[in-house]
Structure 1
Amino acid sequence: MWCPRLVAISVLLSVLCASGAQAGSKSQCERCKKLVKGFREGEKRTSRSNFGGGDVHWEERKKVSYLKSETRLVEIIESACEKGNHGCTSFLEQYEELLEVWWFKKQDKFPDLQDWLCRVRTKTCCRDNEFGKKCAPCPGGVEKPCNGNGQCEGAGDRTGSGICNCRYGITGTKCDQCLPGFFNETKLNDCLNCHRACLLNCTGASEEHCLDCGPGWNRLVTGGCRDIDECLSKSLHNCAANQYCVNSEGSFSCQDCHTSCASCEDPGHKDCKGCAQGYRWNATATLCDDINECEEGVEDSTASAAQEKAAADTGDKDAIPAAAATELPRIAACKETETCVNKVGSFSCLCKRGYKRKKGGCVVDTKYKEPVSEQSAVTADDLPPVEEITADDDDDDVPAAKESHATASSSSKDEL
């Protein structure tokens, strides 16, 4: 059946297709499925509608049903493709007549519109899990494509490649093999990671199933791998003198000692094997105490160098020296022009008041002015009475004494 109204719709669809480029990335199968989906949605939307008059009794008397009418078909087709989907509208224009055939003659016999239109008539699609021009079965078969371990690329599409995209850890054209570093777990029908001890392949999940051992592991005579404890020997790790080694499976890490320790075996302040600079070993408390350099001074560098050489000769650099036997002569921590400030494990030398830092030393600050509140106030009581100066005194001293007295008095007055 063909009518002018359907012809008009076809012309309209042609105009819409000409107004924009088709979506080339979509296959004809995808376009057919999109059209069928929109058609089915239109069927649901119009399932309770009727002719414009709404006279259901008239429909029954005349034996005319809206549900299978041309009017309903036109309404469904008009909205089958989304606005702007030129691929769908192009496919509809090409195969609209087949939709009419199915609507009026085939839908009772072939209720699956997608199978009838896309696979049987237009031959753009295949059955599920088939692909290509000949609709060949996907690798592994249509019942369990890719052995259930992947996706068959382009399944159901005559342009599909049929290549299996396998899940993580699985390979093979049918997704039936494990990648290196994985083993086949038959109970789960899956490939699982080998233990981290394994260099590559294994037969099970534990380190006992490794075929070869990776770095940080030793191969056992009985089979499998055992972790190497790098912390047992300094030749196996690269931790610094003020760090301690922490073993882990197949590796190790270096952690900082307590700040009071020059070396240690654990992080606590009582785990020192040697004291850091600015600390002294306390045998009673079995820890390294802070040295107050401001009260005790610092070790004589000349004597210290000699002792370090002697310690190096013994080969035991981590040993804590006996306090009384190895104490060095000590000298002042700071110079006379400096004030010493003790810190934990260290100290600072600050220039005294009236001095400033220059080239590493403290020199007189010519611009410094003593605060008034801290100056010594000079009064008349601090000076000898004028009358005590007699003729027996040196003549040169008399004017000087008077001048000093006058100046001091003036200063005293200003202070008052």
Structure 2
Amino acid sequence: MQIHVDYCNRLKARTNLGRGEIDDCNRCKVLSDSFKNWLQKTARGKYEGGDTAWEEAKLKSYSRSEMRLVEIQEGLCSEVKKHKDRCYGLAEEVEHLLEQWWVHEDPNSQDLFTWLCVSTLQYCCPQNHYGPLCTACPVDENNKICGEKGSCDGDGTRKGNGSCICNRGFAGEFCENCAENYYSTPEADCKPCHKACNNCKGEGAAACVICQTGWELEVDVCTDVNECLKENLCKVNEYCINWEGSYSCKTCDVTCKTCSGKGITNCTSCEVDEILVNGMCLDETLKHQYLLSTMKRLALYALLLLVASEGSYEIVNIKCAKQSSDFSGKKLGILL
């Protein structure tokens, strides 16, 4: 019996999708999952089209009929979102095997994945088995694979060596220990050490065995080292920022020769033709403008203090101008 499959959609999928990276076992699993999906979608108790009289005359139920297989084949892989092209490719390669399983095998005793991917193509192994010979994954004294804290290398495939790939925080042949920089809890879990620790006995910076680089032991607790207190740590035109366990150097503002922090107001020295005023590097013109502005603000502040101390004036207006103060009766308009 020859099954005709709609290859047009398959060709279109290959054109639209790049050839994805996936091994033979996973490719076979994608195909078998799709077949199972279409097996469920086509499950019905009567014929819908075709030579139903001939089928019924042969006393062959729809559930294992050629008609149903054709329906499954036509939809096969079409719903797959990832690696669709690889699914279509394998479906073409094993079409005769799918037909053989459909006609001769009992799906109740052996599912398609086991028959096709494990036994026939030998792309995969049963769960909890690995390697070319599908060797059983090793178990611990409690008959648990990797203590249920990891997985067997190559599990379910024809690859791997069966060693335990432990979950994060666990280590050992059967993942029975905590990894470096993790500590054991009463709940048999492994938690990460404090960032100040280079290995630890428990929770917090006081449980460190050794302090990490950038930390130092003070009164039995690992505390952060302020590297920025050291001299000449950064370049001449840079300033230092301390982080927990480390530091970084940042470039000073372009107006500064040297500085103590970010921005134009943290300069500590200036170029030859400039002077340092309140953390800013100013040339002669900017210097006079800055001083004049400062003097105006100070004069206004002093006048306001005078008015407030006299208690006999009401401030009615504040404007900036070049004229001096103007008093009128008990009301004061301030003009600067």
TM-score normalized by structure 1?
0.45
Q: Match for 1:38 among 28, 34, 37?
A: 34
Q: Secondary structure of the equivalent of 1:127?
A: coil
Contact between 2:131 and 2:157, CA under 8 Å: does it hold in 1? yes
Q: Please name the residue that 2:78 is paired with.
A: 82
1:128 aligns with 2:127: yes
Q: Please name the residue that 2:302 is paired with.
A: 342
How big is the shift at 1:135?
2.4
Q: Please name the residue that 1:203 is paired with.
A: 201
Q: Which whole-Å deviations, capped at 9, do the CAs of 1:309-362 have from their partners, x for residues lacking one?
A: xxxxxxxxxxxxxxxxxxxxxxxxx99xx95523999xxxx999557xxxxxxx
Aligned AA (1:41): N
Q: Which whole-Å deviations, capped at 9, do the CAs of 1:147-195 have from their partners, x for residues lacking one?
A: 323344553122457565543333456544433332223x433222345
Aligned AA (1:342): A
Mapped partners of 1:179, 1:344: distance in 2 = 69
Q: Secondary structure of the equivalent of 2:301?
A: strand
Q: Please name the residue that 1:100 is paired with.
A: 99
Mapped partners of 1:216, 1:46: distance in 2 = 69
Contact between 1:149 and 1:166, CA under 8 Å: does it hold in 2? yes
Q: What percentage of aligned pairs have identical amino acids?
A: 31
Q: Please name the residue that 1:66 is paired with.
A: 62
1:110 aligns with 2:109: yes
Mapped partners of 1:44, 1:344: distance in 2 = 88
How big is the shift at 1:211?
3.5
Q: Secondary structure of the equivalent of 1:183?
A: strand
Aligned AA (1:183): Y
Select the structure of larger CA radius of gyration.
1
Mapped partners of 1:15, 1:61: distance in 2 = 35
Residues 354/212 of structure 1: CA separation in 2 closer, same or farther (3 Å cut): closer
Q: Please name the residue that 1:390 is paired with.
A: none
How big is the shift at 1:118?
0.8
Residues 87/53 of structure 1: CA separation in 2 closer, same or farther (3 Å cut): closer
Mapped partners of 2:159, 2:193: distance in 1 = 38
Q: Secondary structure of the equivalent of 1:342?
A: helix
Q: Give the number of the structure with larger relative contact order, counting CA–CA contacts within 8 Å between residues 6 or more apart.
A: 2
Note the 1:87-236 alignment, pairs <5 A: 87-108=86-107, 110-138=109-137, 144-152=144-152, 154-159=154-159, 164-172=164-172, 174-185=174-185, 187-194=186-193, 199-205=197-203, 209-212=207-210, 215=215, 217-218=217-218, 225=220
Contact between 1:28 and 1:91, CA under 8 Å: does it hold in 2? no
Aligned AA (1:73): L
Task: State the Cα RMSD in Å.
Answer: 4.9
Contact between 1:13 and 1:93, CA under 8 Å: does it hold in 2? no
Aligned AA (2:106): Q
Residues 143/126 of structure 1: CA separation in 2 closer, same or farther (3 Å cut): farther
Q: Please name the residue that 2:314 is paired with.
A: none
Q: Secondary structure of the equivalent of 1:192?
A: strand
Contact between 1:68 and 1:103, CA under 8 Å: does it hold in 2? yes
Mapped partners of 2:50, 2:96: distance in 1 = 28
Aligned AA (1:341): Y
